[in-house]
Chain A
Amino acid sequence: MKTFSKLVGGARIVTRSDSGVELDLSHQLARRSGTVALMAVALVTIITSNVTATMAQSETPAKPAAASATPGQKSDAKATKTAPVTGAIRGRVSASDGQPLVNANVMVQSLSGTPAAKPTRPDTDGKFVFEELTPGAYIVIGTAPGYIDQSMGLGNPLEWPRHLIGSDVNIRMIRGGVITGLVTNPKGDPMVGVPVHATLASSRDSSMLSFVSGGGISETDDRGIYRIYGLLPGQYTVNAGGKGAFGQFNASGFDIDVPTYYPSSTRDTAVPISVRSGDETTGIDIKYKGAEGHSISGVVLGNIEASPAGGAVTIMLAHASTASVLSLEIAGVADPRRAFSFNGVADGEYDLFASYLVNPNDNALIGTKRVNVRGGDLSGIELRLAALGSIAGAITLDPIKEEDKCDKRGSQVIETILKLPHDDPKKVTNQLTAMYSGLGQLNDKGEFALRNLEASRYRFDIKLPTESWYVHAINLPASGARATSQNTTGPAASPSAAGPNSSAWQGILTIKSGDTLAGISIMVGQDAAALRGRAGPEGTVVREDTHVHLVPVDAEQANNVLRYSETFVKRDGSFAFTNLAPGRYFVLSRVEAPTEPNTSPHPIAWDAAARAKLRREAEAAKAEIELKPCQAVVDYPLK
C-alpha cells in the first residue's frame, strides 16, 4: 500500500485523512495541479496494492510495531490508557512578509504519517494550536492555495522538520512561482493539448517528487499556451511532449516523441529557467520538434513471493546524470510476463529502477540497471529484484532514581528521532531507494525498525528529545558480534575493524543486501551534562570553521565514538555541547576544512585514524574538564 505513498512521501497523508483535508493537503504537497496527480497516486495506491489484503492487515499507524506482527494489540491499548501525558503544539502561519495567512490549513502528522489531530484553520492573527497530543515527533504542515510551506521544500519528506509537544512552530509560507509560454510546431502554429513539464534542476532530491506530484505540469490550451504555477524558487528545465501527468494512463499522442526542451533542444542543451517566489516567468516559448524517440523494454525478474493480484512492480526511467524521473511503468507482480516498455526515449544514459513492496511492514525489493540508448531501441533488458535490508531494536532508558533525573520536561522515548545516514558522507542513497526508506519507526515502548536499507555502511544519527539524555551505549545482538569474530562470511552487521579487546561502539553498521538485523539495543542515560562557553572574551573574532571537540580522557573509551562530541564555534565566539555522558573530557579547539556542501555532516571521530590523531592532539593540549551527572557548565573559557 505504501509503495506509492512512500514514493511521494506526503501522499500517505492522502490515504489516511478525511476527505476535505486531503484535497487541500495534497494540493499543497503536490503544489499546483497536484491534487489531481495525488488523486491518481491514491488511486494507484489502491490499485497497486492488494487493497483488500492491506485493509485487512489493519496496520496501527500510531504505533508502528517494530517487530512487525507482534501480538501486542491489547497491551498496546492498555499502554495508551496508562500514558495520559499529553501536550500541545502551537504556532503561527504567515506569508514571507509576516502577514498572517488566515486562509491556510494546518495539520499535524505523527511519525508514521498519520494525522494526529483534526486539521485546523488559524485565527485572524495566523495563530493555531493542536491540543492533547501524545508524545511523539510530529510534522506540522501548512497549506494555502498558491503558497508553499518552505520548510518542506521539495526534498525527502523524511528530512522535514519534526516537532515535539510543547513546541512553537512558525510556518512561513512563500508564494509559488509561475512559468508560462507558448508551444508551437515547426511551422509556427500553436500546439494544443501538449503536456509541458517543469523540473527543478537544482536539487537531485526533487526530481522524483516533482515527477510524481505532477510537480510542474500543465497542458497547452487551444491557443498553445501553458501555465505552470506554485513552483518553488529555483532553476527549472521545461519540456514539452512526452507523457502526461503522473497518473494519467491514457496515451497523450506525444508520448512517442522525444520531449523538446526550452527553447528547442534536447535535455543536454536545455536552457535553465529561473523562478523566484511569487514571480511569473513569461515568454518561455518552446518550438516543438516532434522527433520520434526510441524504446526501452524488458522484464522484471526475481524470485518474488507474490500474493495473487498483490500489487505492482513499478519501473521508473530516470536520467542517469540528473536522476530526474522521466516515466513510470507498472507491471503486475503476479503477471508471469512482468514486462515494461518505455517509449519516446532520446539518446542518452538512463537508470532503470524497479521496485516492489510486498507489504508496509516488509522491506521493498529493488532492481536497478544503467542503460545507454544510442540511435536505436533497447529490448530484452532484465531487472532483477533483490531485497533491501532492515534493522530493528529498542531504545531503553537507563534505570535511574526519579530524583537523579535531570529532565524536567517529562520526555518520552517515542519522541526520539532515529536516522541511519551513510558512513561515507559523499554517498547519497539512491534517490529512488530513499523513497522507501524510513525514519526509525518508533513506538511508545521504544521499539524501532528501520526498513529498506540498501547495502552500505551506516552510522546512527539519534536525536534525543531532551538535553538531559545521552546515548550511553549501542549494542548489536550477539549473533552480529559472533559474525564479526569469524570476520568474513556474511555478517549481518558488525562493528567494523573492532579490536579483539574493544567492546566500545565504533559506530559503523554494515548492511548487506537483504539483511535483517533485529535486537539492536540503544541505551540512553538520563543524567546528561552540558558544556557551554566562549572562545576568548567578548568581541574576539573567531575564525570560520573553528571546531571544538570533546575527547574522553578514559583510555578505555578511546574508540567509543559515543563519547566524542564536536561542535562549531559561532561567529560570536560561543559554543555549546549538550547530551553529554558524565565523565572526564579533553577539550580541544582547532580550525578545520569546511565540509563540502550537500554532504551529510560527518564528525571527525567517526574515522578511526582521524580519531586517533584527534586524541593525540587533545592529550597534548591538556585542557581537561570533569562533567558531573546533570551538570551544566555555562561559561567554559576556550583556549
Chain B
Amino acid sequence: MRNIKRLLFILSVLSLCPMFCLAQTPAKDSSASISGRVTVGGKAAPGITVVATASNSFFDNKTVAKTTTDEEGNYKLSGLAAGRFTIMPLAKAYLVPGGSAYKEGVNVAEGETITKVDFPLVRGGVVTGRITDTEGHPLIGERVSVVSKDSKADAGPQMPMLGVSKNQTDDRGVYRIYGLGAGSYKVSVGQASSATGAASIMGMGGSQYVKTFYPGVQEEAKATILEIKEGTEVKDVDISVGKPSTGFSVAGRVIDADSSNPVPNVYIGHSSVNESNQEMAGMNFTGNQTDANGKFRLEGLRPGRYAVYTFAAGQANSTYSEPVQFDISDSDVTGIEIKVRRGATINGVAVIENNSDPAVAGLLQTVNLYAYVQQKGIAAPSYGTSPIGSDGSFHMSGLAPGKARIGIQGFPSPPQGLSLVRTEVDGLDQPEGIEVAAGAQVNGVRLLFAYGTGSIRGEVKIEGGSQPEGRSIGVIIRSTPSASRRFNRQAKMDGRLHFVVENIPPGTYELVVQGVTSAAGAKPAPPVELLKQTVTVTNGVEVKLNLVVDLATKGVQP
C-alpha cells in the first residue's frame, strides 16, 4: 500500500512541504555567505557557475544567488539571509563520485560564514543510442531508463514530476543520457508487463511498449550489462521494441449495494494484485468515471491480475467500495460489478489550544482536514476531506471501515506553525487514529491543534570514530512519551550536520539524534539512537544547540 500512500501524498500535496521546503523567514540580515571549491579530477575548475537556490514551496523554487569559480576553482556566494539553500555548480555532465549528488543542501544561520562546501567532481559517463520499432521507425518521446545492474528495474514508480522530460528519445529515436557515475548499468525502454508497483495518475508514466532491455530482450536477466567509466561514452546502445501493445479493456458497472441502482459519475481506480501476498500494488487513476448508467470502461491493461474499485473522495462523497479482482490474459474483460456502500462519517470540531490571536485562529479556515483509512490487503483506498467551519466544525464521510488517521493539507502548504497534536473521541485520546466500523457515524471528535513560532537550530559533532558505511545522521524533535499532546518532526540536516526545526509550538520536547541506515531494496533497519536530550521551546525564540555524539561510547553496533 506504499504507493497508495504515495498518491495521497501527491493529492494532499503540500503535506509535501515539510519534506521539501523550508519557508524563508523574513530577511533581517543578509550577510551570510557560503564558499567552497569546485575541482574536476582533483584539479581546480575555473569558470564554473555556482548557484544558490531557495524553495518557498514545492512549486516555488528559485535561484537567489550566483557566482563563478575563480582560477583556483574557488567560489563564494554572499549576501544570503538565514534559511536553507541548495548549492549547485551548473555542471550537469559532472558528478561527485560515489554519489549522484552534485548539489548540496545547506542550513544557513543569520550572518553565518560557511566554508568548504566543496564539489570534487569527475566527468560522468554517457550512454547513447536509438530506439526503433520492429519496422525500424524511430520511437519518439519514449523514456529510456538506465539503472544500476543491481537495482531492480521496477523498483517502484518514480515521482512523475521529478525529472520529467529527462532521458527521452527525440524525433529520430535518439536518446543521450549523461552524467552517469562509473559502474555497471542496464538500459531499457517501455513498461513492465503488468506494471507491478507502478503508480499512475491520469496515465502518467506509461508506455505502449513492453519493457525491453538492451540489446532487445524482454527478460531482465538477459540484459547486457554496460560498463561505464568516468568520462567515457558508450555508443550505439540501440534497442528495437516490439509492436505497441494497446492492452485489453475491462468494462462493468457500479451499483449501490443496497438498492442495486447504478451509480453514475464516480471515478474508477485500479491496481495490480500481487497474488503471493494478496496485496495491491500501485494505484492507477485514469480519470475515468462511470456514465449516467453506472457503466465504466478502462483501456490498455496488460495481462495480469488486477483489482478495480471506485475512487471517491471529498466532502460530498458518502460511499466506498470493495475492490473487485479480475485477471487479464488475452482478451477484454466485461461484466465487472463494483458495489458501493455507505461509508462511515466522522464529525466534530477542531480547536487551536492556548490561542487568543484571531489571526492564528483563522488559520484553521485555510486548511482542509483529511482522513485516510488504512487498510490491509486488497482494499480500495479510502479518503475523506472536510474544510473547517468558522465554528471549528467539520464533517467527513464515505469512509471505509478501519483506522482513520486525520491530517491537514493546505495549498501550497498548510500554514507554518500549525500542528495537529491530539485526536479525541468523546474526550478519549486516539493516538493510533479513530476506529470506524462499517457505515458508522462517529461524533464527538475533537481535534486539538497547537500553534507556535519557536525554533531549534544546532549542529551535531561526531567524535570517537567514524560513522559506519551507509549510515546517516538524523535529528528528530518529538513530544515526551508522557505528553498528552503529540508532536514529531524531523529536522532538516545538511552535509555539515547542521540542523534546524522551525515553527514549533511552545513546550518541552525530546531531541533525538539518530543513526539511519538506508539499504536499497532491503527492509530498512530501525534507527539507532545516538543521543537524546530535553529541550524547552518558547514562541519566537531560537534555541541553539551544539550536540556531541561520542561514537566510542555510543551506538557503533554493526
Instruction: Spell out A's residues near B (CB within 8 Å).
Output: 14-24, 27, 32-37, 39-40, 42-43, 45-48, 50-60, 62-63, 73, 76-77, 80, 103, 118, 121, 145-146, 176, 178, 185, 187, 189, 191-193, 214, 217, 219, 221-222, 227, 229-230, 244-245, 247-256, 290, 292, 307-312, 329-336, 341, 343-344
Contacts and interface: CB of A to CB of B under 8 A. Distances in A.
A103 B13 CA distance: 38
B365 interface: yes
A67 to B, nearest CB: 18
B255 interface: no
B368 A309 contact: yes
Contacts of A53: 314-316, 385
Contacts of A36: 141, 164-165, 168
B101 interface: no
B184 interface: no
B140 A253 contact: no
B161 A247 contact: yes
Contacts of B10: 43, 46-47
Interface in B376-428: 383, 385, 387-388, 409-413, 415
B108 interface: no
Contact of B299 (A21, A51, A214, A250): A21
Interface in B250-293: 264-267, 284, 286-289, 291-293
Given A77-B264, A247-B164, A256-B51, A330 B412 contact: yes
B171 interface: yes
B121 to A, nearest CB: 12
A380 to B, nearest CB: 15
B43 interface: no
Interface string B130-151: 0000000111110000000000
A76 B202 CA distance: 27
Contacts of B57: 332
A308 B314 CA distance: 12
B517 interface: no
6 contacts: A17-B288, A20-B208, A32-B141, A219-B165, A256-B65, A309-B368
A39 B49 CA distance: 31
A192 B93 contact: yes
B92 A19 contact: no
Nearest to A52: B314
Contacts of B438: none
Given A58-B289, A308-B368, A343-B63, A52 B313 contact: yes
A249 B314 CA distance: 27
Given A21-B300, A52-B11, A332-B412, A229 B170 contact: yes
A32 B172 CA distance: 12
A176 B287 CA distance: 30
Given A42-B204, A76-B292, A193 B62 contact: no
A63 B292 CA distance: 10
B493 interface: no
A50 B311 CA distance: 15
A255 B289 CA distance: 40
A307 B317 contact: no
A335 B362 CA distance: 11
Contact of B200 (A19, A27, A76, A249): A19
Nearest to A27: B141
Contacts of A250: 53, 61, 162
Contacts of A192: 90-93, 178
Given A222-B179, A253-B90, A312-B412, A37 B368 contact: no
Given A20-B247, A46-B10, A77 B293 contact: yes
B165 A333 contact: no
Contacts of B140: 27, 145-146, 229-230
Contacts of B287: 14-17
Interface string B204-218: 111110000000000
Interface string B472-494: 00000000000000000000000
B315 A145 contact: no
Contacts of A254: 63, 90
A229 B11 CA distance: 33
Contacts of B315: 52-53, 56
B160 interface: yes
B203 A22 contact: yes
Sort A-B residue pairs by CB-CB distance and give the 9 closest, nearest first: A56-B314, A19-B203, A20-B300, A58-B265, A52-B314, A229-B171, A18-B299, A56-B316, A193-B92
Contacts of A245: 164-165
Given A24-B208, A329-B60, A42 B264 contact: no
A57 B264 CA distance: 12
B298 interface: yes
A52 B51 CA distance: 38
Contacts of B300: 18-21
Contacts of A43: 10, 160-161, 201-202, 204
A27 B204 CA distance: 12
Given A52-B385, A249-B58, A73 B11 contact: no
Contacts of B293: 77, 80
Interface string B37-63: 000000000010101010101111111
Contacts of A46: 10-11, 201-202
B312 interface: yes
B63 A331 contact: no
Interface string B326-347: 0000000000000000000000
Given A36-B168, A309-B411, A17 B47 contact: no
A188 to B, nearest CB: 11
Nearest to B137: A103
B100 interface: no
Contacts of A249: 58-61, 161
Contact of A58 (B171, B246, B264): B264
Contact of A35 (B141, B162, B201): B141
